[in-house]
Structure 1
Amino acid sequence: MQRESKSPVVRRALVCAAALFVTAAPIPAGAQVTAFKQSVAETLGESDAIAAFYRARKFEPLWTGPDDVHRARREAFLEAIGMAGAHGLPAGRYDASALMAEMRAARNPRDRGALDVKLSRTYAQFARDLQNGALDPSRIDAGLKREILYRDPQELLTRLENEDPRAVFRTLAPQSREYVRLMHEKMKMEKVIARGGYGASVPGGKIEAGESGELVVALRDRLIAMGYLRPTALASYTDEMRQALEAFQADNGLKVDGVFGPSTREALNVSATGRLQQILVAMERERWLNRPEGLGPRHIKVNLTEYTARIYDGETVTFETRAVIGSTDSDRRTPEFSDEMTHMVVNPAWYIPRSIIKNEYLPKLRQNPYALGHLEIIDRSGRVVSRSRGFGSDFPYSMRQPPGPDNALGKVKFMFPNKYAIYLHDTPAKHLFDRDRRAYSHGCIRLGDPFGMAHALLAPQTDDPDGFFQSKLGSRSEARVNLDTPVPVHLIYRTAFTLPKGRVQFREDIYGRDARIWAELERAGVALAAGES
């Protein structure tokens, strides 16, 4: 059977593979083996997972052997790192050209030993970056509490030793549908940029129905370039243009009213390059979330930038509600992390966080010990403290709001115990859910439909989730309800995300986190497509 054609990178790799075994003069086989193994051992140096892998196999080559098996590994690896840019990774970290140059330069067993170790280390770095991200989120922003589940390099190398190398490389990237769709959107955006992007930005001004003029033409051209409006020579603000603008507003989380206001104009004028940056950051974030066990057969996602909480059963959304998240104040932003929801509390009391007591409530109590009368002040034994003596600099007490209709947590809270004291809960401040931008809390996440969330979570463990929940609610006493099966909760932050059908969605970078992530990706060497200024 005729061998399929190879890419230029792979063809060069095959030439390099052959060059590995050209020596200046014949060397006895035993001496070659000894020199190779000594070189491997010396190059490894420090004790780590890669050194352990080589010791376990008695320093035999993984990449630089003379047979077709080793050649296939080299070929597959060079082919894989040649695709690093397609994944939005810093290709310079793996540098296929430099590796091929070293292959060509390897003329003796000692060279090949050092090269074998370098290929393993480069592979381990590439696999780690592709599976779990090129950046360490904890070094970028204090709100990125994401714990990355890195794979063991020894395990990755063992897989490469025992499995088809191309099959191994195909499974390194996240296998989620979201990641695949983001890669597709990345390629689409790169084509837009190659064609010159979205063209001229749209100036400010007001557009009325039926109006014509330069502003309408600029808006028309922008909507056409972005794919929301069919090519047309119309120069007035028609119903068709208004519908196109409404579709754009929906895809950007804006109020869908067909009005060309400041928020809509600002979103319209984000360049294609800016949108590509958002997609690349989303791909990095999806790698951070890549776990061997997946997100859980049933799980909850809260996308902070979308102000929305959802329950997923598999890939299907089975419940959805609006959410209010932490405000943009630096000490109130909702962190990003994953944990497991274990229970809910019906008719909860609110135990005020120490930070709120110190920064907000204690100054008021010092001025007037009878202020904040809806809150109880309790000592370490749980006894209510008399306010008559007043409060000085020392305040060794806690504060608690008993259950009731005005409780800050509403009538139910959902607990996934974590060291950040973040949870989902009801709220009496229902008016906030009518706003498009919903960043008002101290950090916890308020739900627009908490009873619906409770019913959805209880449905797998009772035939009458509504009746069961109402019985607990009617008692007016605080009651803990355990979930028979804990539900993973993922607090995420995506300014670019996809839908199973439809256009890619974009949202505002409310906490500025994506801007910091992009700056770090760029510093690491992630390159953008050329074509748009």
Structure 2
Amino acid sequence: MIAAVGLKRLTIVTLALACAFLIASVQSAVAQSVQFKQGVAEAAASDRDLAAFYKANGYRPIWTGKGATDKRRRAAFLDAISEAGAHGLPEGRYSPETLGVNLRAVGSDRDLGRLEVQMSQLFLRYARDIQTGILTPSDIDEGLVREVPYRSRQATLDAFAKSSPAGFFRALPPTSPEYARLMKAKLEFERLVAGGGWGPRVAADVLKPGATGAAVIQLRDRLVAMGYMRRNAGATYDDRMTEAVRAFQEDHGLATDGVAGPGTLGMINIEPETRLAQIIVAMERERWINMPKGKRHILVNITDFHARVIDDGKLTFKTRSVVGKNADDRRTPEFSDVMEHMVINPTWYVPRSITTKEYLPLLQKNPYAVGNLNLVNSRGQVIPREGIDFTQFTAQSFPFDMREPPNQGNALGLVKFMFPNRYNIYLHDTPAKSLFAREKRDFSHGCVRLNDPFDFAYTLLARQERDPVGFFQAQLSTGRETYVDLKEPVPVHIIYRTAYTEAKGRTQFRNDVYGRDAKIWQALSDAGVALRAHQG
């Protein structure tokens, strides 16, 4: 559903005038009557935070008073909720019309006290929504295990009561550059939708350099509309079009071969309404992570198949990654934690699920299968396989663990990077280097494999070692498992963005590899979020 951007200002202004008139006509000459305080106490009784706030402030109003301060608060609040749609929030959730009905029902100071609390409840809902999102991630998908940094409701009210109202509302949304750029991209795509989009889709399965015909003209026109080519009358898939296709592929995580194959044309034929929905989902996701990311932090975008090191807001290192396969129990979860150390020449402690589901069936057929792995008993002793009848065990009764000692072929490669967490997820090297050449790289059991783990290690060690390369290689050459603490632990954020921005350049789009964004968009739609077409 596409909704035109409504001019709600008239409704807001009408409500503000009605509120001011009501307050002037209903409230008694006494600043806060006993009836008003009773109304506040009764309305706030079922809400612990509101009850504590109003008890602490003597049941004085912050919204419905006759003074200039309360008037500024009302005006700032009404102005803020009138712009909720610009943030991809459901405008009806903070309906001025609903509040207007209650205004008309006010006939006493006691009623006004109830309205005071209702406005605080609406304010707290809006403040939480725009700060940390309207959805609870874990309700959407089991892989969304992120802990949202919710603010204290009582502290929010306290801060608002002591702040400049307009300034307070301006500071509520995420202040990250990413959120600001997503807001800009949202407006851009709303204008695209209002203008009819990018024109006809390309009616072809594959187009290659040198091709001609109607489909090439459609491709040309669509690339022009998207800003990848200047307007021209060319009807041949020439060098200009090849470069434009490469640029498009770069912005969409595709192999940059300049050929408009099925994957590229599939992306080119996606309409701006779909991209707009992705941007709105990305804004909701940015609200879930509305907290300091760390002056230095590691960012792993699952859908982009890359890991990055960010220093003071700037990209300082980037490498390809492999993430969890799109299958049950293998998808990489989304969360934030802190990297504390790396392990050079690591031992692979095979997860129980892999041991029993994948390796036990192999051992039951051949007791010497997966000979690179050791059997280990509960005391940590390596157990010879001779004489063991593996067919007697089930997944539940199998009494051994399995480990792979440090070696060149170790499943973890030669280094792993640890941020201890309940999900047993970490970053690591891998001997399976060929997978990094793939366009879509979801192959792991959930952990994140790095294409350039040594360079990643050097980047981290450069903060604490004069010669990070020499230090790392010296530990590596011993062949022994070695733990190296990071003197400055580094926050790690595993995110999932099918739409994201860069400081310079176009908005980037990726495929919804696990289908999580589709679920989020459905939940947002169910909550009342609508796509908007913006004229002008």
**Normalising to structure 1: TM-score of the pair?**
0.95
Q: Give the match's secondary structure for 1:276.
A: helix
Task: Name 2:199's counterpart in structure 1.
Answer: 199
1:188-213 C-alpha deviation (Å, 9 max, x unpaired): 00000000112221112443433321
Give the 3 Å change call, closer, same or farther, for CA 101–79 of structure 1 in structure 2.
Answer: farther
User: How far apart, in 1, do the equivalents of 2:408 and 2:221 lie?
Assistant: 53
Q: Which runs of 5+ in 1 are unaligned?
A: 1-5
Task: Name 2:17's counterpart in structure 1.
Answer: 15
Give the 3 Å change call, closer, same or farther, for CA 9–463 of structure 1 in structure 2.
Answer: farther
Task: Name 2:334's counterpart in structure 1.
Answer: 336
Task: Name 2:444's counterpart in structure 1.
Answer: 441
Task: Name 1:457's counterpart in structure 2.
Answer: 460
User: How far apart, in 2, do the equivalents of 1:67 and 1:529 lie?
Assistant: 37
Contact persistence 2:206–2:265 (CA under 8 A): no
Of 322, 325, 328, which aligns to 1:327?
325
Q: CA RMSD of the aligned region, Å?
A: 1.7
Task: Name 1:356's counterpart in structure 2.
Answer: 354
User: How far apart, in 2, do the equivalents of 1:173 and 1:39 lie?
Assistant: 32
User: How far apart, in 2, do the equivalents of 1:330 and 1:251 lie?
Assistant: 29
Which amino acid in the other structure matches residue 118 of structure 2?
K
Moved more, 32-41 or 410-419: 32-41
1:319-354 C-alpha deviation (Å, 9 max, x unpaired): 111111111112211000000000000000100001
Task: Name 1:179's counterpart in structure 2.
Answer: 179
1:22 CA drift (Å)? 4.7
1:267-290 C-alpha deviation (Å, 9 max, x unpaired): 011110000000000000000010
Contact persistence 2:323–2:448 (CA under 8 A): yes
Q: Give the match's secondary structure for 2:449.
A: strand
1:222 CA drift (Å)? 1.4
1:216-270 C-alpha deviation (Å, 9 max, x unpaired): 1111121122222222222222222222111111110111111110000110111
Q: Give the match's secondary structure for 2:531.
A: coil
How do 1:66-465 residues align onto structure 2 when only pairs under 5 Å count? 66-103=66-103, 105-291=105-291, 294-387=292-385, 388-391=387-390, 392-393=392-393, 394-465=397-468
Task: Name 1:3's counterpart in structure 2.
Answer: none
User: How far apart, in 1, do the equivalents of 2:511 and 2:205 lie?
Assistant: 22
User: How far apart, in 2, do the equivalents of 1:226 and 1:17 lie?
Assistant: 47
User: How far apart, in 2, do the equivalents of 1:508 and 1:195 lie?
Assistant: 25
Which amino acid in the other structure matches residue 460 of structure 1?
R
1:10 CA drift (Å)? 5.1
User: How far apart, in 2, do the equivalents of 1:400 and 1:227 lie?
Assistant: 53
1:341-373 C-alpha deviation (Å, 9 max, x unpaired): 000000001000011011101111122222211
User: How far apart, in 2, do the equivalents of 1:395 and 1:101 lie?
Assistant: 66
Q: Give the match's secondary structure for 2:247.
A: helix
1:396 CA drift (Å)? 1.6
Contact persistence 2:41–2:59 (CA under 8 A): yes
Task: Name 1:473's counterpart in structure 2.
Answer: 476
User: How far apart, in 2, do the equivalents of 1:131 and 1:47 lie?
Assistant: 20
Contact persistence 1:21–1:107 (CA under 8 A): no
Q: Give the match's secondary structure for 1:461.
A: coil
Which amino acid in the other structure matches residue 21 of structure 2?
A
- 2:518 matches 1:520: no
1:27 CA drift (Å)? 5.3
Give the 3 Å change call, closer, same or farther, for CA 16–379 of structure 1 in structure 2.
Answer: same
User: How far apart, in 2, do the equivalents of 1:210 and 1:310 lie?
Assistant: 37
User: How far apart, in 2, do the equivalents of 1:325 and 1:190 lie?
Assistant: 33
Of 472, 485, 489, which aligns to 2:488?
485
Q: Give the match's secondary structure for 2:86.
A: helix
Give the 3 Å change call, closer, same or farther, for CA 47–524 of structure 1 in structure 2.
Answer: closer
Identity within the alignment, %: 51
Task: Name 2:4's counterpart in structure 1.
Answer: none
Moved more, 386-395 or 65-74: 386-395
Contact persistence 1:20–1:64 (CA under 8 A): no
Task: Name 1:498's counterpart in structure 2.
Answer: 501
1:111 CA drift (Å)? 1.8
Contact persistence 1:228–1:248 (CA under 8 A): yes
1:497 CA drift (Å)? 0.5
Q: Give the match's secondary structure for 1:20.
A: helix
Give the 3 Å change call, closer, same or farther, for CA 57–442 of structure 1 in structure 2.
Answer: same
Which amino acid in the other structure matches residue 389 of structure 2?
G
**Normalising to structure 2: TM-score of the pair?**
0.95
- 2:58 matches 1:35: no
1:103 CA drift (Å)? 3.5
Give the 3 Å change call, closer, same or farther, for CA 129–28 of structure 1 in structure 2.
Answer: closer
User: How far apart, in 2, do the equivalents of 1:356 and 1:19 lie?
Assistant: 69
User: How far apart, in 2, do the equivalents of 1:219 and 1:213 lie?
Assistant: 10
Contact persistence 1:9–1:79 (CA under 8 A): no
Contact persistence 1:50–1:154 (CA under 8 A): yes
Moved more, 141-150 or 220-229: 220-229
Q: Give the match's secondary structure for 1:344.
A: strand
1:182 CA drift (Å)? 0.2
User: How far apart, in 2, do the equivalents of 1:415 and 1:27 lie?
Assistant: 64
User: How far apart, in 2, do the equivalents of 1:385 and 1:211 lie?
Assistant: 64
User: How far apart, in 1, do the equivalents of 2:512 and 2:442 lie?
Assistant: 12
1:46-92 C-alpha deviation (Å, 9 max, x unpaired): 24212111111121111000111001000000000111000001111
Which amino acid in the other structure matches residue 399 of structure 1?
M
1:101 CA drift (Å)? 4.4
Which amino acid in the other structure matches residue 495 of structure 2?
I
Give the 3 Å change call, closer, same or farther, for CA 520–431 of structure 1 in structure 2.
Answer: same
Moved more, 49-58 or 501-510: 49-58
